[in-house]
Amino acid sequence: METQGESIHKVNFATPRGFTTAFKSDLKETLFPDDPFHEFKNKPFSTKTKKAIQYFMPIFEWLPKYNFRLFKYDLLAGITIASLAIPQGISYAKLANISPIIGLYSSFVPPLIYAIFGSSKHLAVGTVAACSLLIASIIGEKVSPIENPELYLQLVFTATFFTGIIQTAMGFLRLGIIVDFLSHSTITGFMGGTATIICLQQLKGMFGLKHFTTKTDVISVLHAIFSNRHEWRWESAVVGIIFLVFLQFTRYVKQKKPKLFWVSAIAPIVVVITGCLFAYFAHAEKHGIQIVGDLKKGINPLSINKLNFDPKYMSATLQAGIITAMVALAEGIAIGRSFAIMKNEQVDGNKEMIAFGFMNIIGSFTSCYLTTGPFSKTAVNFNAGCKTAMSNVVMAFCMLLTLLFLAPLFSYTPLVALSAIIMSAMLGLIEYEKAYHLFKTDKYDFCICMVGFFGVAFISMDIGLMLSVGLAILRALLYVARPATCKLGSIPDSALYRDVEQYPETSGVPGILVLQLGSPIFFPNCTYIRERILRWVRDEQANRDEGSDIEHILLDLGGVTSIDITGVETLIEVLKAMEAKGIKVALVNPRLEVMEKLIVTKFIDRIGKENVFLSIDDAIKGCRFTLKHSKQFADINV
């Protein structure tokens, strides 16, 4: 078609091999920009080894450059988050129905592992409330933590081990996309529902109850609270309210004056110390205020021999491992990335998965239960000015000193103080404003959020999470099955072609219909795409003036990232339907993967190589000479 002095740009393809070779290098960089070996593939062996070690163990990248100036910041940040880790470790361990000392153990070994393998400079490692309650809920249905605490603890360690295995495998297989199925709406609803039931459960400690339910739904918890009214102790409630008001006040101070973040950061340890002194001197147990009890000195004992793979309990530990692995990854990676963005830095999601996996695997061997990157501790770490992961090492050292010398002192911690700490933390996770924002901006996202919230609150945590994820996936499938297609028109005095509905001032080209397909073409949406194309042709023919019938249809495939065999068959059916109507079909800007598939399946031979173009403008220029109404077309600026 290079006639009358014009040059039409067409795709150059002799064979699939030739087409692939031309683009292979650039394509790999485009599709796999985070390839861990890309940057040192063509370097000497020693450099490759060094780079590989630095990739999998980032500590060897930043530690050689480390200096005392950086350490000053990390030392302050590490001490600050350690003051938060002690009360949180004890509190969340009680939430998981395990000994408080396990919570302290979990803030010693995992941070050291993360400092070696983690890629985030700001993430602070620790236990989290949501995963603690998930473990208690799932494993508690199989084994009672009260009747058989030893077996229950073994299953907790086993679930932590499975969590680590799943996270590590996902990291090595680069399956970070799976975590993306936990949408923002799902996480908002899940965390809100979890925070609600955790707050209600803490009324047990606030009222000093000795008997309670192992279920986690709102109705069961409220029934347990009111059916045991005879156990309520006003002394415990008064102390708990005082602690809770103090903690909320410090959070208010932090919100009003962010520079005073340390007030909120040290508030939990102040509550614990104050509570210990009060319980010791006032003999709190005599007044119905329960205390934590015996906390032995000493570092983490090995627990690898306590892992329990009995088939009888395997379903519970696997279920707990899979669900908590996803939740912990979603929370930890999202938080790490959020704080990295503030410093214009990047966090490798696959590295984080490997780091989380290793610290949970090794943690399960050393009497630790599930850990990740909690928001509260990471925010404190960031605001305290941490510069590297050394802040986690400092925190771990502080926890070592606590375990060796100070642990028995915390045995006087009132349970009501722990309940107040947990309730204060959870109240900040019920994000009413975000839910309202979702309601105003996207009703479907709001429904996903509410399904997660009410499912967690009134059924169970795992079912609520799965319902919300299922609804989010259903929405994604609807988008896949009903992809966007639109008619394009020419914007006056330009070579641009845009959606005619979005830009009403655009004009069509006599005898030519330009359609844009905006999604992969594969079996779930093939029928819909075929029907949409035929409908566009039918409607266009009905609306056009007599004597200006459609002679060419251009399919812009720039947004079609892939196509399967069913998709190719659909294009063949469209081609046959158009041929029956006397309409010629041309393809515009097919991507590499699509082009390869069309060549291999002989579709290009059928449609003709001359009918494949790089741009809409080129395609229209190529079609102008075969239009019956070329005189009309000649007057249009193309």
Buried b (16+ CB within 10 A) or exposed e, 106-145: bbbbbbbbbbbbbbbbbbbbbbbbbbbbbbbbbbbebbeb
What is the model's pLDDT at position 638?
45
CA 327 distance to own-chain centroid: 8
Degrees to nearest 5, angle at CA 478 with 517 and 333: 100
What is the model's pLDDT at position 263?
87
> Bridge-partner residues for 507, per DSSP?
490
Tell me what percent of the chain is helix, strand and coil, each rounded to the nearest 5: 65, 5, 30
pTM above 0.85, yes or no: no
The sign of the torsion formed by the CA atoms of 623, 625, 630, 631 equals positive
Beta strands in 143-242, from DSSP E residues, in sequence order? none
Q: Which residues of the chain have pLDDT under 50?
A: 1-8, 13-33, 547, 631-638
Whether CATH 3.30.750.24 fits 482-634: yes
For residue 544, the one-letter residue type is: R
What is the model's pLDDT at position 349?
84
**Residue whose pair of structure tokens reads 């967690």 in the numeric block:** 456
Q: Where in the chain is the domain with CATH 3.30.750.24?
A: 482-634
Closest-CA residue to 306 (of 431, 148, 508, 155):
155
Query: At a CB cut-off of 8 Å and minimum separation 6, what does 142 contact?
Result: 155, 313, 316
